[in-house]
Structure 1
Amino acid sequence: MTDDLTAVVRQHWWTTVASVTRLIGDLEAAEDAAQDACVAALRQWRQARVPEHPERWLVSVARKKALDAQRREAKRAEKEAAAVRDETRSSIESQAPAMVDDQLALIFMCCHPTLEPASQIALTLRAVCGLTTSEIARAFLTPEATVAQRLVRAKRKIREAVIPFRTPDGDGLAVRLAAVLRIVYLVFTEGHRSNASQAGTRPELCREAIHLASSLATMMPGEPEVRGLLALLLLVDARRPGRFDAEGQLVLLDEQDRSLWDAAKIAEGEAHLASALSLGRPGPYQIQAAIAALHSTASTAAATDWAEVAALYAELVRWEPTAVVEANRAVAVAMAHGPTAGLTILDRLTDDPRLEAWPPFHIARADLFSRLGLIERAAEAYEKALSLSPPVPERTFINRRLGELARRGLGPGAEKR
């Protein structure tokens, strides 16, 4: 029961923060009020029941708590009076149409160009996803103290620079677009593979990211990367029904029941991708969407055009020359040209500290070792991934694979590499 209530509260965290920030213009105070409202909800809903509209309940309580705090602490009576007038004009019943606008405004505030990129990301994941400092640190392989300092500095800068809570237009929109797209992508990523959820996924964040990408596409129909991002999110999310079995166990892409995939989302994603490509200005989100489309349209894993997937990843590396993209390319190369070819690429990345602390990297190496019959090396790689505290479904998956390796034992050709 407690876990269910916590999930409900967390689902509505960022709409609560966004609504209160719009009311009082202070992100840090809005977070405090939202936190107080969440605590009150967990306490009251255990005793009674979850209200019919939990989001409205949380927003209403958080706004009242924020105004109470402002009345106690405001140094200027005019500021308090303006806040009270705003509260009077804005009833809870009228909030629903403004929710997406508030969420976009919150993201644009967090992506203000006066903030350094790392702080933009940390601040948005805190305000939008409700992640704790330690969860953000784990997600980006960064010391917790560093993340905490970034959050403090970013909130101080927003307060001191009086950064407005609104969605910019014109040049202001264009300047922040790349950062905003990156943030929406990261919100989706946290939903798709979540360290903060026992289930290993947070579908509500995936839905919110898709809604935001769709809103941006409506605002900026001539920006191909906006449509590329929307296409990517739709195509990846379409596979969500097949990612876990009935027991909540993780199912790898090549083992998924593709009849469970959402055909309507795939069609919508392909349409947005075609629209983006027709504009003639390619970019990394369009490339990733093209990769996702190849997966989504293949009838089986074996039918996937892996050579084309590998070629697209090679192009993506030109746009985003990161170790994570290179690791993903290695997996595609392994599928197209054999596990040895993929391992050759992964072996060149083993000294990268970010990948060393990233469980999927070691899971990929373990899989390729296993395909080559290198059982002990595969087991070592799985154990390394397990030591990095991956999400629960990944831990279960790794333990299952370790059991399979133990049953295979050291047969012919299974010598150490």
Structure 2
Amino acid sequence: MSTDVAVKIAANASKAAKAVANLTTEEKNFVLQSMANHIREATTDILAANKDEVATAVSNDTSAAMIDRLTLTEERIEAMASAIEQIIALEDPVGKARFIEQRPNGINIEKRRIALGVICMIYEARPNVTADAGALCFKAGNAVILRCGREAIQTSLAIAKAMHQALREHKLPEEVISIVPDPDRDLMLGLLKQEQYIDLVIPRGGEGLIRFVTEHSRIPVIQHYKGVCHLYIDQSADLDMALNLLLNGKVQRPGVCNALEGLLVNKHLAADFLPKVSAALSEHNVIVHACAKSLEYFNQAQLIEEDEFGQEYLAPEIAIRVVDDMDHAIAHIDRFGSQHTEVICTADQANAERFIRQVDSAVVMHNSSSRFSDGGELGLGAEIGISTSKLHAYGPMGLEALTTEKYVVTGTGQTRN
């Protein structure tokens, strides 16, 4: 039965994708504005559904990080609607052409951007993904299948209802943005086998979910296992700047994937910098896991063993290590990082450039907070996810990452000898 339902959902989405592919940019933007308006109008209904699910999550002792992602407020709903309006303002990648060359025989070769087709989003307690993914996939000319976890299913259905209202008003099939009404795992497994209809799977959630999807999918998967982000304080760093980057990266919103999980401090700065770190993190009730060389600077830190680095805490916790130099810092990142976001704080431009070249991460930052590793902050509008695998996208994924290119060859009757 689950297989039959999965086939129906996927086939209907594939059919609906053709309707989106025929829309002009102006038509898509008009529909998107309607979606934003209807989400605002549905705020009361969305909050009511969300309140019940948050209460259930709290009673089930769900982690603070997951509850933070699950919880919606009027401000967060307005942010969802505003994000859709930001997507409207973005350039439409579909149809964008780039000339390759004219061959000696006179044929002209170009590559032109087209929609991927059908994208399946699989996510947990993140109801905002419903609006973000729905709007991004639509603007990029795709249909999307949204499979939300049971923790946020009612909230996601309420958001999707508002978006469907906009689709109906513009004579478009609701299957352009399909939401799977049943979070049953067998149904998800059935969707992962629909390679005939679905072109890409993007899971967003815990590492366990992403590994499960990757292992069972017949369809290409964009992976984002976890966000173990580091801040390296180089010998020439401005210590006031370094402290601000640390606090913003760790405590502003600790339950998200671009929050800092590791601090690496050049040994020449330890005596001056780590007492300041200790006082600041203590004020914000951050639990510190300190290496043997940094432990003495903290009153209540826990000694961390070598094999304990690389944790994604998603909480007011951080691992701290004193390193000999930048090479030591990069070696640590190579071993314990997750190719998400890495930051260097330094006044030495040569060191900054070397760090940027050598660190293998989707986003590398110099003197800026890891919290900017976000599609909206990087000018993409709402992101559909952050890829830590390199094919076909790497880093925050916006509109262009939801398209591909095809060759277009124009001639005047040439034939091949």
Provide the TM-score with structure 1 as the length reference. 0.26
The structure with the largest helix share of the pair is 1
The structure with the largest strand share of the pair is 2
Higher relative contact order (CA 8 A, sep 6+): 2
Provide the TM-score with structure 2 as the length reference. 0.26
